[in-house]
Structure 1
Amino acid sequence: MEDFKNRIDPDGWVRLVFSAKAARTGGVVRRSAKWVEREVGRKKFEAEVRKRGFHMIECGGQLIVICNKGGLRVVC
């Protein structure tokens, strides 16, 4: 059985993700789509990414957030 006592609240989880050094310095944050759904919900996470002006892509069950407000060009 899952231990719910050690889980952080959804807003705290989002703050934790976006306070990571990679997020603060314009890098990349990667999280499992299943984990995001379980911790905060996909809609909330996507809204948080949009609110920050970042970009998010999904590949192989992973959500990759590019923590940069610059333009995005997919090369291949």
Structure 2
Amino acid sequence: MARMAILPAHITPDRWLAQIFASQVAMRGGVVKRKIRYVERLVGRDVFVAAAARRGFQVVENHRHFVIFCNGKPIRRVR
């Protein structure tokens, strides 16, 4: 079993969420990707998804990543 890295004390769930959603990409309405296991370990899946939803963002899950669309535009699967 792999050991989880110890997180620095300055990284709190609230601070991490604030940084993700205040990034330049997010502020421009872009797309952000994060590993699911990292999100679950740091803030929890439900908290993360709820924080994105409060901002009107959509989150999709693919393989090992969450992909966050930092805008309210529709998502259409092309293939």
Structure 1: unaligned runs, 5 residues or longer:
none
- Structure 1 stretches of 4+ with a deviation exceeding 2 A read 1-7
Matched length: 76
Which SS does the other structure have where 2:68 is aligned? strand
TM-score (norm 2): 0.86
Which SS does the other structure have where 1:6 is aligned? coil
Query: Could you tell me how far 1:24 is from its partner in structure 2?
Result: 0.5
Aligned counterparts of 1:56 and 1:3: Cα–Cα separation in 2: 27
**In the alignment, residue 48 of structure 1 is paired with which amino acid?**
A
Q: How do 1:27-42 residues align onto structure 2 when only pairs under 5 Å count?
A: 27-42=30-45
- Provide the alpha-carbon RMSD of the alignment: 1.5
TM-score (norm 1): 0.89
Query: Could you tell me how far 1:5 is from its partner in structure 2?
Result: 4.1
The corresponding residue for 1:6 is: 9
Aligned counterparts of 1:4 and 1:26: Cα–Cα separation in 2: 29
> Normalized per residue, which structure has more helix?
1
Q: How do 1:1-76 residues align onto structure 2 when only pairs under 5 Å count?
A: 2-76=5-79
Structure 2: unaligned runs, 5 residues or longer:
none
The percent identity for this pair of structures is 36
